[in-house]
Structure 1
Amino acid sequence: MKQAIAALRDFNRFYTQYIGALDARFLGNDMTLTEARLLLEIANREPVQANILQDILGLDRGYVSRIIRRFEREGWIMRERSSEDGRSRPMKLTPRGRIVFENVDRQQHDVIEAALLQLDHIEQGTLADALTSARQILVRATVAPPKEARLSLDVLDRPVWHALTGRQASLAVGNAEVLHYQPKITPFGASVDMGKVHLRTLAGLLSAGEEVWLVEKENIVRPSGLKTIKMAECLQMVALHVSDNKDKFSFCDLGKSDSVEMQALAQLTAPGPFLVDTWQLGGFIGIRAEGRLVAMAGERMKPGNFTEVSGVCTHPDYRGRGYAGFLMRVVAQRILQRGELPFLHTYSDNTGAITLYRSIGFVPHQTVTVTVLQKE
């Protein structure tokens, strides 16, 4: 352990100096490395909320705010109110900001390329493999609990595909190249890759007017025959542990006999796509009051050793009582007890939900894009 700590610290000292992290002017530009990285994240995720940048980079809120104010003064970014939430002001680059970003991005590419040209092909491959291995090991160290099996975070980049080719294969429709859940269960689908050819094949599994929901880390290129209904950035969050429930509510397991009530509650509160057979995804529990279902939560996608907490909703007349947080904790605790890790998705600008999920024990992992396509 001492040797590993010393080696990592020694490399940190070397690499921070190597990339110019200690310089006030990164690559000779009028910005620090942190500012350059923040500009990169805005460019890759725009439009994006400030709180998402803070979570992804692990930076202090005040520090991020100061950098963003500087970007606004320089005319590099603009902030517009979200059409879905008037309180939200996601950021995107201005034309001037795009020029600044592309200049810094090109400089970084050129510096790295110049360094690699000093190596032969074998040395370049060795370096690439070593850096990839180091990153994967360190990522696992921050996510996987000690003394438990190492988990692959890669499955969360494409949760639908890994769920349908893994533990939920029995719920899949399709073939080795394209898959989606059975139509009455949930509209999520995926293909072996997200190229136009395979997405066109996925469209072939749909009826006219039918939708397919994609959840992907990488951007997709929509093929002909499909039209985009909606695109939204979602924050993906993972929990290693769950805080204890302070409230004690009576709850019950939900199943086929409750499916009509479950769908009605979901239609009223819109937690996400919820169909007549969504209950088959399992793990649903609910709270009843005055003889009716007023709150529920359950499970959805199961990629690798992760299980998604989903279908969380509360009847408007019963909000503010802590039902959602209580049920989420129960569902997540059951997932953890099975030796799996709970994860979830929430819209990136849903600050209220993100605050709740943090209080339960979920921490941000990355952003993904939800795309809803409809067959024409």
Structure 2
Amino acid sequence: MDQAIESVRAFNRFFTRHVGAIDARFLDTDVNLAEARLLFEIARQQPVLANALQDTLGLDRGYLSRMIARFETRGWVIRDRLSEDARARPIALTPKGHAIFTLIDERQRTAVAQDLDRLSVVERDDLMQALTKARLLLDPQACARFTIRPARTGEVSQVATRQSILYAQSHGWGRELEALEAETTAAFLRNFKPDREQCWVADIEGVMAGAVFLTDEGEDVARLRLLHVEPFARQRGIGDALVRTCIGFARDKGYAAVTLWTHTVLDAARRIYARNGFTCVSTDVHHAFGDPVQGETWHLPLSQAAIGPHARSPRPVPLAPFGEEVAGEHRGGHA
């Protein structure tokens, strides 16, 4: 914890200096950073009440009132005079205030562009992902929207890496699991059937928030594999969305059933599967990850042939972390 605290503080010191956060004249203008931030929110939300600005910025009411009063004195903002209560008077920029805001905004965009121009395309993407992930880690509700898209080059291997790290932390499953993860994803890439298989990624502003695979098992059976949702992205419905994407794809491609393999200890994952129509059809105890753990095979029929009296049972497969939720779900957090 001490090391983590120092790392965050060191970055804060660097960044406040880098962006001029403690300069009396932010970007060589007549405002400091707090005033520039307030101007930005007025421009974005106008006409806006002081209470709304206070909620957005988290500022002390008195400090906010004094800044707005200074803006009025300078002729940058105007309040609607219909209400005697200042808090109920919508605030808007005057033409002079808009000119000041435009100047600050253009200088800020120029400063950021100069930072980004020094970076390659890959470095720029790395920076955007790092900044977005930092924001989501510190404020998990910063962005509630996500998209589901096919995996891009390099992301299939990232899934194996993330699951190995997360399972090691949550369940103590180490090198043996990591080897299985690597073998599973390598086989997917090597034998990929684009018209029958897919890996999907849950994306939040360019950051991988989770993923899932669907592979062809033969004989019209598909297998859901390697479901995971990042800890910062849970409680958003991502796990259900990924599973539904697999089921929809399997139906479109004419599969008769979808099967998966998971573990009894992964309660959150099992709830996702049950919600989406899967049922547990068999269990077995294995020692592949060290201590004995109970694995489960779940099955979802997609056609009458798959649920009839002579329906074929899902074929056993070698042990691999197929269709599991990621580490942390045992604490009650899941997608």
Q: TM-score, normalised by structure 2?
A: 0.42
Structure whose alpha-carbon radius of gyration is higher:
2
Query: Going by fraction, where is helix more abundant, 1 or 2?
Result: 2
